[in-house]
Every structure is written in structure tokens, then in C-alpha cells.
């Protein structure tokens, strides 16, 4: 009988030990499962983070692409505008040239300066007196009178054009006639009455002394 009791106590102790082992095994398995679940959760979180990062990267790339496209469009528009301005400037220049060619400025007619027509009295007249007489070597003929700057007090030397020809002319004779006489060396008077010479003409005289 005592031997049987010892066997029973040993069996109970062995059963308790097995139960503890099973519990520890279960705890270990649960711990492993929790670790596996934690790893799975971490992996899911990491995958989610990767997906979010990829989405953010795609959005950033899309935004950059839009910005670049906007800049390219703005550059193209800016490049096209000067061309339009150039074309408009050319059209304006062409229009201006065409307008100028179609509507030339009317040339002003020169205004002729008014001049007073000279009256017959104001016209310059030349009165010439030619005396035919050979006064001899070393002598000269003078003329005195009235009109054409002549005087009865002092004679004017006549121009000797040939051996027996003496000439006097005036541009200042006023009136219709000049009264005059000739003198040899302004001392010896010609004979006869005073001569009456028409102004504006050439008269030839033949004196006697």
C-alpha cells in the first residue's frame, strides 16, 4: 500500500509539470503569434507609407510637370508676341508708305514777288553827243551846257575816239532836251547858237570856230 501512494504522488507531480509545460508552450506560441502579427502590421504600415510616399512623389512630379508646361507656354507666348508686334509694325510701316504714296503733300506754289513796273520816265536813257572836228595836235574839245550834269561855268572834257571825233554821253539827262556848246581847250567857244539835243538819242554835230 505505501508503494502505491508514492506512485500516485509521482504521477500527480508529473501531470502538473506537463500542464505547466503546456501553458508555457501556449504562451510562447501566443508570443510568437503576437510577434508575427506585429511584424505583419509593421509591414503593412511600411507598405502604406511607401504607397503614400509614391503618391506624394507622383503628385509632386505632376505639379512640376504642370509648372514646366506653364513656363513653356508662357515662353512661347512671349516669343510669339514680339513677332506679332513686328508684323504689326511692318503693316503699319507699309500702310504709312502706301498712304504717303497715295496722298503726296501738295507743293506750295511760289508766290511771285510783286514788282512795280517802271514808268517811261523812270527808264534809264542814254544821250550821246558826237562832235566832228579836228582841233589839231595837243588840243582837246570840252562841252558846256544845261542838263545831264553839264554846266555853263565849267566844261567837261570829251572823249577823243579818233583824230577828228569827240564823244560825250550821259545817263542822267532829265527833260526832253539838253542845251550845249563845245569849246577848244575849254576856252574858245564854237560859233552860232546853242545846240538843242534831244535826250535819249545820239546826235552828231559839226561845229565851226
The side-by-side arrangement of strands in the sheet containing 202-205 is 159-162, 165-170, 127-132, 202-205
Residues of 20-55 as b/e, b for ≥16 C-beta within 10 angstroms? eeeeeeeeeeeeeeeeeeeeeeeeeeeeeeeeeeee
Q: What would the CATH number be for the domain defined by 127-205? A: 2.60.40.10
- What is the chain's pLDDT, residue by residue, as a tens digit (209 residues)? 444 444 445 555 667 777 777 777 777 777 777 777 777 666 666 666 666 666 666 676 666 666 656 665 555 555 455 444 554 556 555 554 544 445 556 656 555 555 555 445 445 689 999 999 999 999 999 999 998 889 999 999 999 999 999 999 999 888 889 999 999 999 999 999 999 999 999 999 999 99
Q: What pLDDT is recorded for position 80?
A: 53
Where along the chain do its domains lie? 1-106, 127-205
Cell, residue 153: 561855268
Among 165, 120, 127, 162, residue whose Cα is nearest residue 145: 127
Q: DSSP secondary-structure letter at 201?
A: S
Q: Which three cell numbers stand for residue 106?
A: 501738295
Provide the residue count of the chain.
209
The DSSP call for residue 4 is: H
Q: What is the DSSP string of 27-58?
A: HHHHHHHHHHHHHHHHHHHHHHHHHHHHHHHH
Helix (H) / strand (E) element for 125: namely none
Amino acid at each position: 500500500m505505501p508503494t502505491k501512494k508514492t506512485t500516485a504522488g509521482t504521477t500527480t507531480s508529473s501531470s502538473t509539470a506537463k500542464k505547466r509545460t503546456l501553458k508555457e508552450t501556449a504562451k510562447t506560441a501566443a508570443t510568437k503569434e503576437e510577434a508575427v502579427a506585429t511584424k505583419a502590421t509593421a509591414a503593412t504600415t511600411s507598405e502604406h507609407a511607401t504607397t503614400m510616399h509614391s503618391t506624394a512623389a507622383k503628385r509632386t512630379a505632376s505639379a512640376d510637370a504642370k509648372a514646366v508646361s506653364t513656363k513653356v507656354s508662357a515662353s512661347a507666348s512671349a516669343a510669339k508676341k514680339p513677332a506679332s508686334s513686328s508684323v504689326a509694325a511692318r503693316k503699319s510701316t507699309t500702310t504709312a508708305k502706301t498712304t504717303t504714296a497715295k496722298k503726296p503733300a501738295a507743293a506750295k506754289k511760289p508766290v511771285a514777288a510783286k514788282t512795280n513796273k517802271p514808268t517811261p520816265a523812270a527808264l534809264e536813257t542814254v544821250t550821246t553827243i558826237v562832235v566832228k572836228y579836228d582841233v589839231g595836235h595837243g588840243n582837246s574839245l570840252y562841252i558846256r551846257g544845261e542838263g545831264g550834269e553839264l554846266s555853263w561855268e565849267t566844261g567837261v572834257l570829251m572823249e577823243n575816239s579818233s583824230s577828228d571825233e569827240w564823244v560825250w554821253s550821259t545817263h542822267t539827262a532829265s527833260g526832253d532836251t539838253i542845251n550845249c556848246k563845245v569849246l577848244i581847250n575849254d576856252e574858245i567857244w564854237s560859233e552860232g547858237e546853242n545846240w538843242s539835243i534831244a535826250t535819249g538819242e545820239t546826235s552828231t554835230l559839226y561845229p565851226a570856230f
